[in-house]
Amino acid sequence: MKKHFQASLTVIALMAATPLFAQQKDIKLPPEATEFWEPVPRKVTAAAQLGQAPSDAIVIFDGKNLDNFVSAKDGSAPQWKVENGAFTVVPRTGAIKTKQGFGDMQLHIEWSAPTVIKGEGQGRGNSGIFLMSLYELQVLDSYESRTYSNGQAGSIYKQHPPLVNAMKAPGEWNSYDVIFTAPKFNADGMLVSPARVTVLHNGILVQNNVEIKGPTEYIGIPNYKAHATEMPLELQDHGDLVSYRNIWVRKL
């Protein structure tokens, strides 16, 4: 019995030494074996200036009017003020939202905190960008004002603090570039995959493909509920004179 066992080990050793059992790195393939030519990526023309809308973008605000928005409260025309290529929150008129819905998307949006500084923390230059009207990317004057870390500018509100504070001074323009993956639900309304988001604040990574835990809650634990695959982008009226400009989306 012992001799048979030793013979078997010898056979296994010999087999391992043959080309059939050689490591994959020893297999010789021509370069063409790992190339593919179809499908061909479609052509998109980049904007002449960095941050401007590429050729396949949906321009939501181009500096002229709020025709692509409605009041989030009742669907009426927004009362926010358009001036000098930007628009500014008119306090106590309520949030506004896009007429069009979006799911997976690339979003570019620029915003500025008011130059007249008042308040501290959450009371200073506060607004918010609600992806799919549910998931808030915080807008706040966090330049030289302390608040809770998961509530400052660049945070996914009450969920993920930004990796760094990339805020510019009040009156200067900030940019957010957002890659958003919408949550997916099955036919029974059960969550299949949560939303995820990557955010660059003024070109600096502040959210790195983080998982969104559910719709934004001021108090309590987020909890997903099934919703449409595309929903409007919403901008918050928090009572401060925050301004926005140059808003565009690419559906992914």
Q: What is the amino acid identity at position 164?
A: V
DSSP state of 117: -
- Token digits of residue 235: 């901008």
The Cα 195–Cα 137 span in angstroms is: 13
Per-chain mean pLDDT for the chain: 91
Q: Whose CA is closest to 209, among 179, 187, 236, 237? A: 179
Q: Please provide the DSSP assignment of 64-98 as one string.
A: S--TTEEETTTS----PEEETTEEE--TTS--EEE
> Is the peptide bond prior to 91 cis by the omega test (within 30 degrees of 0)?
no
Q: Whose CA is closest to 127, among 247, 245, 238? A: 238
In the chain, which ranges are continuous DSSP H helix? Answer: 2-16
DSSP state of 160: B
Residue 24 pLDDT exceeds 80: no
**Band of pLDDT at residue 127, cut at 50, 70 and 90:** very high
The Cα 163–Cα 149 span in angstroms is: 10
Residue 8 pLDDT exceeds 50: no
The stretch 80-89 carries a mean pLDDT of 98
| pLDDT computed for residue 173 by the predictor | 98
| pLDDT computed for residue 12 by the predictor | 43
| 195-246 residue pLDDT tens | 999 999 999 999 999 999 999 999 999 999 999 999 999 999 999 999 999 9
The Cα 163–Cα 218 span in angstroms is: 21
Q: With contact defined as beta carbons under 8 Å apart, do 126 and 148 qualify?
A: no
